[in-house]
Every structure is written in C-alpha cells, then in structure tokens.
Structure 1
Amino acid sequence: MSSDTTKGEDEATEQAPLPVLTEPAEGTPAVITRESELVDCAAAIAEGSGPVALDAERASGYRYGQSAYLVQVRREGSGTWLIDPVYLPDLEPLDRAIGTGEWILHAATQDLACLRDVGLTPRQIFDTELGARLLGIPRVGLAAVIEHYLGISLAKEHSAVDWSTRPLPEPWLRYAALDVEVLTEVRNLMGADLAIQGKSEWARQEFNALLTWRPAVREDPWRRTSGLHKIRQPRVLATVRELWWERDRIARDRDTAPGRVIPDAALVEIALADPSASGDLPRGHRSIQRSQRAWLDAVRRARSLSEDELPAATVKSDGPPPQRSWPNRDPIAAERLAATRAQLADFAEEHTIPVENVCSPDPLRRVVWTPPSEDTPEGFAASLASHGVRQWQQEIVAPMLAEAFAAHPDG
C-alpha cells in the first residue's frame, strides 16, 4: 500500500463523524406533573444506587428571572425522570430521597440557584465542567466533554428554546433526558483521570465550595446597561437608572425577560432624548411606543431628582487600581505581580490546568496590592483565604508570592 493511500485513509478516519446520541436508553419519559407521580419518582430514586445526575432547563431570554421549567434526574437502577416544577414547585420528596447522595451537575453554578428554589439542596457535588477545567480539557461544554470521554456526539439544537412553553414538544423532552443520560459514566471516567493526575483533592475542595455558593447580588444592576459607558452626565445616568427600574417592573409584572420589553439601546436613546411628551420619544422601536407613559414617567422622576440624588458617573472600586497604572503608581507591586504570574503560568502549563483555576486574577491582585503584615507563605495563605481562595490553591500560590516579595523588596 502506498504512503499516499495510507495518509488518505488516516485522514478519513480522523474526519469520520462521531456517532450521535439521539435516544435515551429507556425511551423519553413522560413529564411528571402530579404529586402522586413525584412520590413514585422519589421512591425509585431512593432505591437506586450511586450518584444522582441532575439538570434543569430555564427560560433565559424569555421569562423574568431564572426559574427552572424542567428538572431532569437520573440514577443507576432508577432510570430518568422529567419533572415539571410549574405544577410541582416543591420537590422536597425528591430531596429526601437523594439525601446525602452525590449530585452530578455540569456547570453547577448555572442550575444550583433554581434547583434550590424548588427545594433541592445538595450535600455532595461533582461538577463535570469544573472537573474538565481542572484536567485541562480544551473544551468544557457538556457535548464536548461527552465527546472527549465517550466518543459520541450530543446534539444541542434545543439549548436556547423557551422552556416555559406548555406542552413541551417531545423532541425537547428527548434532548432534556439525554442531558443526564451519560453523566454518571462521564463522572466516573473523569474521577479516574483526576486521581491519575493527582488532582482529586483539588476537585474535592472545589466541589465542596459549590455547596455554599450563591449568585452574587449586584449593587446598582442598572450600571450593566449596554452603551452606558458613553454617558457621563449624572442627570442622563439618573434617567437611564429610572428607565431601567421601570423596565424591570414591567418585565416582572409580565413575567418576561427585560430585554423583550425594551432593549438597552432604546433605554439609552430615551435618556439622551430627554423627552417631555410622547412626540419627543425616539422613533423606530415598537417597544417604546407600547409603554410611552411608563417611559415618560421615568424621565420625569429623573428630572425631579436633586443634585445630591444623582448617581456618580463612576463607582469607586473597593479593590486595587487598574493594573495598567501599577508601573507608575507602585512599580514594586507591579514587579511582584508579574513575577508571581510568571510562576503561575509555568505551574499551569506543567500541570495542564487553566491559570485562572489555580488562582483567579482578582484575589491575586488584591493580595499583591495590599499584602499581609508578614510576607511569609503562612501570611500570604491567610490573606488569600480571606478572599475565598481554596486551601489547595493557597498551598501553590502563597510560596510564589513569598518568593516574589523576597525578590522585589520595598526600596
């Protein structure tokens, strides 16, 4: 056989499409909507063995908030169950059935809050996305992780649909069931890899931290309005703020995503126009015309505010200054940070892990800018811990910081 032929066959093998996971092993289960069915589900899960794979589908971009509109659960010996939390908003029977059993989630922080809202609270977690990051797997989406471990493809064509739709179409339910179909198998293979790479303890600490994780509560959420960076006048900022809160009220009342009430760009346009009557409102947005009175009332409220009530153009951060200013403001701190980051990059490359998973940039900058009184590994470890850095990370990063400070002492 010629070398050219062999090469062609090798390329064909490499490019051959992966088999696609299209059907749950036991078929697509019916959706549970009655208490009696939930009791049966809980009993089946309690009789199963091993960890429990869970997932939730939300209606992000369609509904107000981040509520779960479908919960999927699967356990060895119990099969897959699909539960409708619209009809069953309290899944406490299922929570009791799982008990202290391990949850398997992919990208846990996306679903933990909405699962807690329906009465499900984890006691142990294994996050396959976070595990993939610790292992240095290049792509960490669920489909990519399944491909990596099982050599099969998982279709994701329904990931962005409106899960508040009722009844849910059968293809969507099939997709939802497949999301938990092979999570246990992936978890077991990933657990073995973590042990082989000496990262099991790292993963344990990261997973334990998820048990107390809560979504950050943003102060002044209106400051995330797209296009706000173009505005510096306090009065116009106040108008955007009033419009943002008015939109939020309307969205909550309609149970729809705020962006579907009116886009950010339209809020900014209204604020810049400073309208006094409906004829002054910007044209071209149907959403502006639909709620003219609400937008005009919001503008009037902003106009009536005193100077003391106007928002500042910028919000002072409680952290260090922007890193680009460090060489001028504190060149020694800049050198210490650069030296530590260089060591971190080498460590991350050697251990095949993203550097941000060894230590997030924010706590590192905070500790370098405002170091502990004792620039020892123990002192740095305590300071890192105060910013939420895990023990395994402290053990790696604290000696690096001590070395950087020793190499770049105060003048």
Structure 2
Amino acid sequence: MTEYSVIDDRDEFERACALLAAGEGPVAVDVERASGFRYSQRAYLVQVFRRGAGVFLFDPPAIGDFTALQDAIGSEEWVLHAASQDLPSLRELRLEPTSLFDTELGSRLLGHDHVGLAAVVEETIGITLKKEHSAADWSTRPLPDAWLDYAALDVLHLIDVRDVLAEELIAQDKVEIAAEEFTATLTRLPKPPRTEPWRRLSGLHRVRGARSLAVARALWESREEYAQEQDVSPGRLVPDRSLVAAVLAAPSSKHALASLPDFTGRASRTQLDRWWGAIEQGRATTDLPKERVPSDTLPPPRAWSDRNPEADVRLKAARPLIEARAVELNMPTENLLTPDHLRRVTWEPPAPPTAEAIGAALEELGARHWQIEETAQRIADAFVEAAQVVEAPAEPGS
C-alpha cells in the first residue's frame, strides 16, 4: 500500500513544506484538474514527492496560499510528466520551477514507442500503473480513497523514472538536446487569446450567412458567460452541436426553441430565457461578423501542387531528409522539427535560401538551436535540389 499524507489545513501544510525542504534530490510534481467538468483549469490536487520526505497530496481550495511550498522546493529540479499541461495550473498557485525534467518529453527524445505515464513507468522501472481515474472530476469532495491512491502513485515512481531516462539520455548523447527542450518548455509564453474564440464552435462550418453567424456568436458568448459564472465546462451545459442545431433551425419563438429535439444539455431548458435572449440579440445586432476571416494557416500539403507548385517540390525534397535524420537520431520527426515550421520555410523560403537564412527563419518561428543545427543545412540542400527540378527543361513530347 502506498503511504501518503493528504494536506488540507495550514498547520499540516507548514509541516509538509518543512519535510520537503529537508528532503533529498529532485522533486516529483503532478496536478489533477477537473477538465471536462469545470470551466477553469485550476488545480484541485497537487501531488509532490521527494526522497527523504514522502508523498504529499495538497488540496488547493483548502490551502489557498502556496508560498511556503514554493519556498521549500522552488530552487530544486522539478520532475513532471507532460509538463506543458500542468505548468499553467501550477502557475495559478504561484508554484514555479527554476529547472525541469519532463519524463514524457525525455521519452520522446529517446525514441520510446509509448510515452504515456503508465507506459513509461512500466518500460523504465517495470512497475504497472492503473490509469482508471485520469478523467475523473477532481473537484469532488471528499476525494475517494481509490482516487487518492492513484494520485499518489503518479509521483511516487517519477524520480526513479527520471534517473533511468537521464542515463538513457547520456547513452544516446542527448543530454544537451533534452536540457534545451526542457528549458523551452519552462520558458514558453502562453498563446495569445483568440480574437474571435466563438469561431471554434464545433459544426460552425454548417452555418451560412452573417446574420446566422451573429446568432451563433451570441449563443456561444452567452453560454461562455454562464459557464464561467457557474464554473462548469460549457459543453456540459449545452453541447456545441445543440447550439449549432438551434442556429440552423431558426426557431420563431422561445416555445419553438424548447421543442427542438436536438437542443439538449442540462441547462438547455432551465436557462431557456438566456438562450432565447441570445438568439434575439444575434438577430437584432448591427455588428455582423465577417463570413470569411483571414487566416495564416497554410493550405494542406495535398493542395500545394495546385496552389504553390514550387513549394510543393521543395517540401517533397526536404521532408524525406528530415524524416531520415529523425530515424538516425531515434526520435519522432515532429520532435526533430515541428512540421509547421518546415512547411512555413518551404512555402515561403528566405532569399537566398542559405542554411544561415533558413536557420534564422526557423529560429523566428520558435525552433531550438539544436533543431536548427540538425535541419537547416539539410533543408537548404533540399531547396537546391528542388530548384534544379523546377528549372530542368521538360522532356520532348512531355
């Protein structure tokens, strides 16, 4: 049986922080949220393990201020699995590592076939974890004992896993690569908020006309406001498909809206006045959204031969070289170079497309130095080859 302490009052919290401060070596950290249940991405449980101290499960709503924990472990290396998922929730609590070891990212760089936590734990130290509570509603109080056991195991073995992966990184000469990737994860800025987030409404492509789009926008914004107010995941109130169904049906009255069989969700009837008010607002507004909005998204590669034939030739020359190098390095191609970065420098390359210029373009897109060193010259060579293909005279009779 796993031994752990559940910490939900200030005195216990202070004692736990003192024990962690006196522990040895890196600190394993994990977070449980209530994604899909709550509107926020706040942490509802923070798990911490350190050798010489033990496993502690901290209850953020009960504790509130986590300054003492940051003071106790903030200067140590933190070990997380898929850190980019947990860092935003930790930062909401003002918990911030100064150095990081990401066991999921490390496993990717090492070429492991499966990089989920359970798979990595089993492959590195031979212990089998059950993942039956990963999608649970962690805002539940009190938390069931089985959930707490599961949460404790998520950090109990993480330091041992880290040590095995660290040895593998040395053996594959990837210590510096991993350090650069871990730093990039730790320092990556959050994405700026979308200017029109309502356009991500699933099924919106079925809606035609600016007026109907205005109704969809009003319904989405009304649901978002209510979801934030109730701290409930928006889709649990009224799913996207129901909002779109209401727009497409164009009901003539509140009663007609209530009669729509496809307008479902636990708040579809209890908040009927809210939804009808949003529909009326969308129908009356003079601020109509554009039916088409500009996007910096590139066309899918299958369309390049028609849209940008020269770029198509460049991509077909460059991509196999990057894939071959990824095989040589024993890592996924997307970890060697983000596919979108390759597509962007291929679609509109710098002039002249030297290795240095391509490297500068990749750096501006966010590529790390090691990625540029591994790929820029190969991409430049591919572009030379592609230019020769484009410039070659057509065969007679072709």
The bucket for the TM-score relative to the shorter chain is over 0.9
Which of 187, 210, 214 lines up with 1:234 in the alignment? Answer: 210
Confirm whether residue 290 of structure 1 aligns to residue 270 of structure 2: yes
Confirm whether residue 42 of structure 1 aligns to residue 17 of structure 2: yes
Question: SS of 2:187's equivalent?
Answer: coil
**Cα pair 1:242 1:298 within 8 Å, conserved:** yes
Counterpart residue number, 1:52: 27
Taking the aligned partners of 1:400 and 1:108, their CA distance within structure 2 comes to 31
- Once the two structures are superposed, the pairs formed by residues 268-347 of structure 1 within 5 Å of their partners are 268-281=244-257, 282-284=259-261, 285=264, 287-306=267-286, 309-347=287-325
Superposed displacement of residue 338, structure 1: 1.2
Question: SS of 1:337's equivalent?
Answer: helix
Residues 311-356 of structure 1: CA deviation (Å, up to 9, x unaligned): 2333322243332332123222111111110001111122221111
Superposed displacement of residue 146, structure 1: 0.6
Which of 342, 345, 348 lines up with 1:370 in the alignment? Answer: 348
- Once the two structures are superposed, the pairs formed by residues 98-109 of structure 1 within 5 Å of their partners are 98-109=73-84
Which of 170, 183, 205 lines up with 1:208 in the alignment? Answer: 183
Taking the aligned partners of 2:81 and 2:64, their CA distance within structure 1 comes to 22
Which of 165, 171, 186 lines up with 1:190 in the alignment? Answer: 165
Taking the aligned partners of 2:48 and 2:292, their CA distance within structure 1 comes to 45
Query: Which structure 2 residue ranges, 5 or more long, are not aligned?
Result: 392-398
Which of 119, 134, 137 lines up with 2:94 in the alignment? Answer: 119
Counterpart residue number, 1:159: 134
Residues 58-86 of structure 1: CA deviation (Å, up to 9, x unaligned): 01111111010000001111111111100
- The amino acid across from 2:22 in the alignment is E
Confirm whether residue 219 of structure 1 aligns to residue 159 of structure 2: no
**Cα pair 2:318 2:383 within 8 Å, conserved:** no
- The amino acid across from 1:363 in the alignment is H
Confirm whether residue 68 of structure 1 aligns to residue 48 of structure 2: no
Confirm whether residue 251 of structure 1 aligns to residue 227 of structure 2: yes
Counterpart residue number, 2:56: 81
**Cα pair 2:78 2:101 within 8 Å, conserved:** yes
Taking the aligned partners of 2:189 and 2:31, their CA distance within structure 1 comes to 17
Superposed displacement of residue 213, structure 1: 2.4
- The amino acid across from 1:96 in the alignment is D
Superposed displacement of residue 191, structure 1: 0.8
Counterpart residue number, 1:90: 65
Taking the aligned partners of 1:56 and 1:198, their CA distance within structure 2 comes to 31
Question: SS of 2:55's equivalent?
Answer: strand
Superposed displacement of residue 224, structure 1: 1.9
Taking the aligned partners of 2:194 and 2:22, their CA distance within structure 1 comes to 42
**Cα pair 1:275 1:299 within 8 Å, conserved:** no
Superposed displacement of residue 214, structure 1: 4.1
How many aligned residue pairs are there?
384
Taking the aligned partners of 1:317 and 1:44, their CA distance within structure 2 comes to 52
Question: SS of 2:137's equivalent?
Answer: coil
Which of 231, 238, 243 lines up with 1:267 in the alignment? Answer: 243
Question: SS of 1:289's equivalent?
Answer: coil
Counterpart residue number, 2:384: 406
- The amino acid across from 1:221 in the alignment is P
Query: Which structure 1 residue ranges, 5 or more long, are not aligned?
Result: 1-22
Counterpart residue number, 1:6: none
Question: SS of 2:41's equivalent?
Answer: coil
Confirm whether residue 178 of structure 1 aligns to residue 158 of structure 2: no
Which of 323, 339, 354 lines up with 1:361 in the alignment? Answer: 339
Question: SS of 2:63's equivalent?
Answer: coil
Q: State TM-score, norm by structure 1.
A: 0.90
Residues 367-404 of structure 1: CA deviation (Å, up to 9, x unaligned): 11222233211111111000000111001110111101
Superposed displacement of residue 203, structure 1: 0.8
Taking the aligned partners of 1:329 and 1:405, their CA distance within structure 2 comes to 18
Counterpart residue number, 1:128: 103
Taking the aligned partners of 1:321 and 1:171, their CA distance within structure 2 comes to 47
Which of 328, 346, 351 lines up with 1:350 in the alignment? Answer: 328
Taking the aligned partners of 2:365 and 2:190, their CA distance within structure 1 comes to 16
Taking the aligned partners of 2:100 and 2:205, their CA distance within structure 1 comes to 39
Q: State TM-score, norm by structure 2.
A: 0.93
Taking the aligned partners of 2:308 and 2:35, their CA distance within structure 1 comes to 43
- Compared CA separation, residues 77 and 153, structure 1 to 2 (3 A): same
- The amino acid across from 2:250 in the alignment is D
Taking the aligned partners of 2:359 and 2:304, their CA distance within structure 1 comes to 23
**Cα pair 2:311 2:348 within 8 Å, conserved:** no
- The amino acid across from 1:104 in the alignment is V
Taking the aligned partners of 2:189 and 2:66, their CA distance within structure 1 comes to 20
Which of 134, 140, 143 lines up with 2:115 in the alignment? Answer: 140
Taking the aligned partners of 1:328 and 1:160, their CA distance within structure 2 comes to 44
**Cα pair 1:275 1:296 within 8 Å, conserved:** no
- The amino acid across from 1:396 in the alignment is E
- The amino acid across from 1:114 in the alignment is S
**Cα pair 2:246 2:260 within 8 Å, conserved:** no
Question: SS of 1:86's equivalent?
Answer: helix
**Cα pair 1:95 1:121 within 8 Å, conserved:** yes
Residues 267-323 of structure 1: CA deviation (Å, up to 9, x unaligned): 0111112234211204332532221111111111111122xx322333322243332
